[in-house]
Amino acid sequence: REVYTGMQEMSEVDENLIVVGFSQVGSESDWRNAHTQSVKEALTEENGFYLIFEDAQQKQENQIKAVRSFILQEVDYIVLAPIVETGWEAVLQEAKDAGIPVILDDRLADVDEELYTCWVGTNAEKEGEDAGLWLADYLEKEGRDEEEINIVTVQGTAGATAQIGRTDGFQKILKQHDNWKMLDRMDGDFTQAKGQEVMETLLAKYDDIDVVVCENDNMAFGAVDAIRAAGRTCGPDGDIIIISFDAVSAAFDAMIAGEINAVFECNPLHGPKLQEIITSLEAGKTVDKIQYMEEAYFDTTMDLESIRKERAY
């Protein structure tokens, strides 16, 4: 059996291996790199897989090209981590017509459920709601539950279900507090550089920001740098509260250093679950349509050093 690896060279692949084409968003964040690592560590030859990995550098058209190449190569399964929720109908219909099962992973695509076998992901809306609930609790403990609270959001890639869910979830709680005001939301594309740039813009525009909601850790790291550069302070002892999402290892460093107040986990270790799903499908079993990863949150009131020792990313 012959497949292209990376579209250049053909390579002989052992008939018994399950060939999986994986279209990954890119390498925009620590979370994404942990996600890629987890999938590569699970879908190995010794586990019975031949993985064709395509990094789309955060461009949807590259993901569509990758899926089309997987179809041409007649892979056994396609795993797609869709960068945004729209624009997938046609190419997923082509995969279906070619009889290749598609597993959506991490973010979701807004397509007919018939076009994918299952989705492994996290509940972004719940993450956003949990962040809002945490903020309400924190402000009450600080005696600030009646005070006018000005909030800005550094959003993830526009149209990514992680961005949509976190924004909508937080908004749901914000609406319950008429003393909270969302001054602005700007797209930081889940990267540290863009997060810093967006925070610089927001600090120039508003001089009364109390809370920054960053929709992933890397943008939060950028925001902290921008806040410091503007001569302001953040974190539990600062004048700007920072909330973030993902809970990668560097976010624990930032909380321990007192730069970020709280982080809402989004577990990237999908590899083992994907391995289990594909193995089940290969054995002719059916699998649950939606498979949520478990999640938690962490803040500076917790024993973060010992928690981090237990964590794998």
Rule CB under 6 A: which of 139-168 touch ligand GZL? 162
| Residues in binding contact with ligand GZL, number by CB under 6 A | 13
Nearest-angstrom CA–CA distance, 7 and 73: 10
Smallest distance, Å, CB 249 to ligand GZL? 13
Coil, helix or strand at residue 149: strand
Cβ proximity to ligand GZL: between 76 and 225 the closer is: 225
Q: Does 246 bind ligand GZL (CB under 6 A)?
A: yes
Structure tokens at 181: 């005001």
CA angle, 197 then 184 then 225, to 5°: 30
Q: Does 216 bind ligand GZL (CB under 6 A)?
A: yes
Q: Does 245 bind ligand GZL (CB under 6 A)?
A: yes
DSSP 158: T
Residue keyed to tokens 């600090």: 203
The region of 25-33, 180-188, 226-234, 256-264 touching ligand GZL under the rule CB under 6 A is: 25-33
Q: Does 32 bind ligand GZL (CB under 6 A)?
A: yes
Q: Which of 22, 31, 134, 180 binds ligand GZL (CB under 6 A)?
A: 31
Q: How far is CA 126 from the centre of its chain?
A: 13
Q: Does 105 bind ligand GZL (CB under 6 A)?
A: no
b/e for 87-112, b at 16 or more Cβ within 10 A?
A: bbeebbeebbeeebbbbbbbbbbebe
User: Which backbone phi and psi does 241 adopt, to 5 degrees?
Assistant: -80, 135
Smallest distance, Å, CB 250 to ligand GZL? 11
Q: Does 107 bind ligand GZL (CB under 6 A)?
A: yes
Nearest-angstrom CA–CA distance, 207 and 204: 7
DSSP 72: H
Smallest distance, Å, CB 116 to ligand GZL? 16
Smallest distance, Å, CB 187 to ligand GZL? 13
Q: How far is CA 275 from the centre of its chain?
A: 20
Q: Does 24 bind ligand GZL (CB under 6 A)?
A: no
Nearest-angstrom CA–CA distance, 108 and 160: 8
* Binding residues for ligand GZL (CB under 6 A): 28-29, 31-32, 106-107, 122, 162, 190, 216, 245-246, 266
